[in-house]
Every structure is written in structure tokens, then in C-alpha cells.
Chains A and B, each alone.
Chain A
Amino acid sequence: DQQVKQNSPSLSVQEGRISILNCDYTNSMFDYFLWYKKYPAEGPTFLISISSIKDKNEDGRFTVFLNKSAKHLSLHIVPSQPGDSAVYFCAASAYSGAGSYQLTFGKGTKLSVIP
């Protein structure tokens, strides 16, 4: 059973417009959420995160919104740039015992920003 879902495998956006990537989760024990960006043939790199006690976190062009009641988060990229074209993974963290916090990843959304 998928605990973190990214229902859009791909998204195309014009350069300069807003990109909105969505993520839903089912486990109410998740207390921290992260977005990773991945280019082909590279490892994922951390982009932005949000604690479950907040509903918004902003870093430059990137903003993450969290709606706990709906178990939904979204990543907004404004304005979108061609260099933002990558696969974006949503991840959620929960305590798994013995001092360990594990990340559960969604399947990713491939963003294409068209010049």
C-alpha cells in the first residue's frame, strides 16, 4: 500500500509560469515532509522541507504548502525555469524505532519546463 502518492507522473509548464506538483499521504504518523529533485544519472538532491507543525515554507522560487487535514502537500515553483526540468520526489518522514527516522518516497513527477 503506497503511503506517499504522486498521482501525476509528468507535468509540462511554460517557462515563467507557475509549476505546481502535488503529493498525498496516508500515514498520519508522518511529521516531516521533503521534496527532492533528481536529474538523469545523478542522485536526488534536497530541495525544500516542511514540518508538520507548519503549513507553508518558502525558499526563493520554491514554496511548499501542507494541508494536514487533507493529508496533502504541494510544491510551487515560481517562476519556472528550463533548469527546473527534472524528476521531483515527495518524501515523508516518520520515527521507525531505535532512534531511526525513515523516509518514504513517492514515485516522482517528471517536470518539463518549456522555453
Chain B
Amino acid sequence: NAGVTQTPKFRVLKTGQSMTLLCAQDMNHEYMYWYRQDPGMGLRLIHYSVGEGTTAKGEVPDGYNVSRLKKQNFLLGLESAAPSQTSVYFCASRALGAGGSYEQYFGPGTRLTVT
């Protein structure tokens, strides 16, 4: 049981390049989330999904797209990377909330630098 995994761990992009970050979870969780963490800013929600085939915008969605074609995977895409997207990206998942548990399980993060 690996929990939440993220690929890749590190990446350096040039401005204008594109890439996809992959998140996978093996806990059969319905909900999945993408966050970014910047120094002094905490974690901010980019996009989220409440189930396979559904996605929604979070607090800071501009410049990103997502897809949830399979329940266990949540992809975050950058179509044209900008230096402002230099950040650490975290994926998280959560079970359908029986009993009021809102705990999210996080992956180890992807450190992205855009030059």
C-alpha cells in the first residue's frame, strides 16, 4: 500500500514548455486534490476532483488543467509554463466522508522550477 505517489519528484522547465504531473493513489479514494506551496504562502488549492471524470477549480486554477480519467489517477497539466509556476506541488486524496472525516492524505510533492 503506497498511499499517494507523485511523478516526477523534480523537474526544471523553460518558459513556454509544457508538462504533466501524475498523481496516483491506491486507497480507492473518491476525492483528489492538487495544491501548490510557495514560501510563506501555505498550501493553495489549484483544482480538485470529486470522482472519476469530474474536475473543478480551486483557489488558484489559472495556467493549469487537470484530468481524472481513472479513479486512482489525477493529472495536473501546465500547457505553457511560466516562472510564476515555480513551486512545490502536492497531490492529496480523501475518502468519501463517512463519519465526518475530512482528513486528506498527501503525496511527497513535486518540486518544479521554471526558468
Residues of A within 8 A of B (CB): 4, 9, 32, 34, 36, 41-46, 49, 51, 89, 93, 98-103, 105-108
Contacts and interface: CB of A to CB of B under 8 A. Distances in A.
B74 interface: no
A43 B106 contact: yes
A100 B56 contact: yes
A101 B103 CA distance: 10
Interface in B24-59: 31, 33, 35, 40-45, 48, 50, 54, 56, 58
B42 A106 contact: yes
Interface residues of B, number: 29
Interface of B: 4, 31, 33, 35, 40-45, 48, 50, 54, 56, 58, 90, 92, 94, 97, 100-109
Most buried by B among A4, A36, A42, A103: A103
Nearest to A97: B56
B48 A44 contact: no
A36 B56 CA distance: 24
- Majority SS at the chain B contact face: strand
22 contacts: A42-B109, A43-B90, A44-B106, A45-B106, A49-B101, A49-B102, A49-B103, A51-B100, A89-B42, A93-B102, A101-B31, A101-B94, A101-B97, A102-B45, A102-B58, A103-B45, A103-B102, A103-B104, A105-B43, A106-B42, A107-B41, A108-B42
A68 B5 CA distance: 36
A6 to B, nearest CB: 8
Contact of A34 (B42, B44, B102): B102
